[in-house]
Structure 1
Amino acid sequence: MKKDFMFGMIFRTKISIGIFLSVLTSSLLQAQISPPGLGDANTASWLAFGVKKRLDSLGKKETLSYIALGRKSSPDQYNPVSKQAIVVLNHEVYHSFAPHQQYSYAISYRRQPKYESASPYKKEVTEQEFRMYGRYAYTFTLGKRWKLKNTVRQEFRKFFDSDFRQAEENFQLRTRIKSQLTYTLSKKNNQKLALSTEGLFSTSYLNQPNRKWTSFGYREMRVAAYYMFNIPHSPFTVEAEV
């Protein structure tokens, strides 16, 4: 059984420029703690600390637990730590059960304030969320430098207000489909470029204004590009996101 400690930090703007730093005690293991949607803002910051642990000697079974904090600016300024955006507690179990194939399952708690849409952008309410999800991933090796990872993730999201009373949205079923293409630039410092696209589809059961289901359908698309490298003579990995 082996434990790996990680520390992550990312800064984002409206065009999603960011830097992610992770610390691992083993160079054989890699992890990514990606920031969630943080709402309307010009800039945002994301800070995470996690522990990754091997459950077997081959490294095919692992867990990743982390706590993270997100802050953001108001729509009329650019201070990335001006307002509280989200707090996340997450625990995920991974199993690489066959060549190129992996599944995982997780439980997560999130606390996220909602702000008024007009100046001075005061906090209106705080929403709490409990999330469970399962994920299946298949990675294609395309020659010596290219890899294509396709992921399907199914989520169940349950919502509460700040006092654990009913929220406007009772719960949601959400499906996420993601593809990420990675190109190895150089083995020196493990330099890579990656492009990812993710489609999100969901249906919700509402408490207000009437108890009813919404139609299942496409909600949003997330696109990101990364440049990744290891800092020489250190346990840090940097991921710059655009």
Structure 2
Amino acid sequence: MVCICWNGMTQISPPGLGAAHSASWFAAGIRQDVDSAGNWQSVSYVGFGRKSNPTNYSPFYKPEIFVVNQEFYHTFRKNWQYSVALSYRRQDEYQDSYPFERENPGIVQEFRFYSRLSYVFKTPRIKFVPTIRQDVRTFFNPDFSTPDEVFQLRSRFRMQLTVNLTKTANHKLITSTEQLFAASQERNEKMGAFNYRESRFCLYYSYSPSRIPVVINLGYMNNLIGNQKPYSVHYLAVDVIIQNPFGSK
């Protein structure tokens, strides 16, 4: 959550925004080569999301999240890549029952560290990337006091397929499936059990103009939450990424 000539991220997928019928996500980022060999890349972005109430269908109805993210990718073998990242997220919290007013406090702050390990299989036409990601998440109220959920460990398993629609690779389709498992620690409680939480299914169209170092991604995500009585949230997503604004090394 790009032209997509580098081995790193391909689009900025939406974060999960909780209970709703629909949601929207917009992000803007910079991808920059760090070394001359192209083995190290930096990806920085800011994003924000809005969502509907569970009783309406407007994906822009109310504010939900603001994200600042910094990630570094390293290709250390021909087909292997890892990344490390730090993220700050400020998320609005709402009650689960009508009229879905804000909780008190209505904001939760999150600091997240995560790392990925990916295997990249490429041909001139397709790129297939299975990825394992581990998140460490800590949460705070707006005044940095302790919220109900204090800490979470979350593991994510993703399969992503990118298909070049043209020989110049200016037009692409990107599809992915990701499953999330997590264990949480509540305030004054021990760490809970490690369980399946949700799945995310994405389909994106990616366009990279030939003469402009920008990539535009338009996508849809279905967030299937829970396992006993699962429900879906439908996301519209747009992100724009500028490539090497400070020059290629």
User: Does structure 1 residue 218 correspond to structure 2 residue 196?
Assistant: yes
Candidates 128, 138, 154, aligned match of 1:148: 128
CA distance in 2, matches of 1:78, 1:226: 21
- Report deviation, 1:130: 0.6
Is the Cα contact below 8 Å between 1:231 and 1:238 reproduced in 2?
A: no
Q: Identify the residue that residue 128 of structure 1 maps to in structure 2.
A: 109
With 72-81 and 62-71 compared, the bigger mean Cα shift is at 72-81
Aligned match of 1:183:
163
Residue 227 of structure 1: how far off its partner (Å): 3.1
1:216 aligned partner, one-letter code: F
1:181 positional shift: 2.0
Aligned residues, how many?
Answer: 216
Change (3 A) 1:189 1:146: closer
Alignment of 1:203-242 (within 5 A): 203-207=183-187, 210-231=188-209, 234=212, 235-241=214-220
Instruction: Supply the AA of the counterpart residue of 2:208.
Output: N
Aligned ranges 1:6-155 → 2 under 5 Å: 28-29=5-6, 31-124=10-103, 125-141=106-122, 143-155=123-135
CA 1:228 to 1:66, structure 2 compared with 1: closer, same or farther past 3 Å?
closer
Structure with the higher fraction of residues in strand conformation: 1
Distance (Å, rounded) in 1 between the aligned partners of 2:165 and 2:134: 32
Q: When the two structures are superposed, what TM-score results if normalisation uses the length of structure 2?
A: 0.78
* Distance change in 2, residues 1:130/1:43 (3 Å): same
* 2:139 paired residue number: 159
Structure-1 residue corresponding to 2:237: none
- C-alpha spacing 1:123/1:65, structure 2 compared with 1 (3 Å): same
Q: Distance in 1 between matches of 2:36 and 2:93?
A: 44
Match of 2:179 among 193, 196, 199: 199
Higher relative contact order (CA 8 A, sep 6+): 2
Q: Answer yes or no: is the 8 Å Cα contact 2:170–2:209 preserved in 1.
A: no
**Once the 2 structures are TM-superposed, how far is the Cα of residue 31 of structure 1 from its aligned partner?**
4.5
Give the Cα–Cα distance (whole angstroms) in 2 for the partners of residues 147 and 133 of structure 1.
23
On the 8 A contact 1:227/1:241 being kept in 2, the answer is no
Deviation at 1:225, TM superposition (A): 2.4
Equivalent residues of 2:21, 2:53 under 8 A apart: yes
Q: Distance in 2 between matches of 1:126 and 1:62?
A: 32
Structure 2 runs not aligned, ≥5 long? 222-249
SS of 2:148's equivalent? Answer: strand
Q: Say if 2:202 and 2:219, in contact at 8 Å, map to a contact too.
A: no
CA change 1:50–1:225 in 2 (3 A) is closer
What is the letter of the counterpart of residue 89 of structure 2?
A: R
Give the unaligned 5+ runs of structure 1. Answer: 1-19
Output the aligned Cα RMSD.
2.4
CA distance in 2, matches of 1:236, 1:218: 33
Cα gap change, 1:177 to 1:53, in 2 (>3 Å):
same
**Residues 31 and 148 (structure 1 numbering): CA distance in 2 closer, same or farther, change over 3 Å?**
closer
Query: Residues 237 and 92 from structure 1, CA distance in 2 versus in 1: closer, same or farther, beyond 3 angstroms?
Result: same
Partner Cα distance (1:193, 1:51) in 2: 21
**Cα distance 1:239–1:112, how it changes in 2: closer, same or farther (>3 A)?**
same
Relative to the length of structure 1, the TM-score reads 0.80
Superposed displacement of residue 80, structure 1: 2.6
Q: How has the CA–CA distance of structure 1 residues 220 and 238 changed in structure 2, closer, same or farther, with 3 Å as cutoff?
A: closer
Structure 1 CA distance, aligned partners of 2:162 and 2:32? 25
Of all paired residues, the percent bearing the same amino acid is: 43
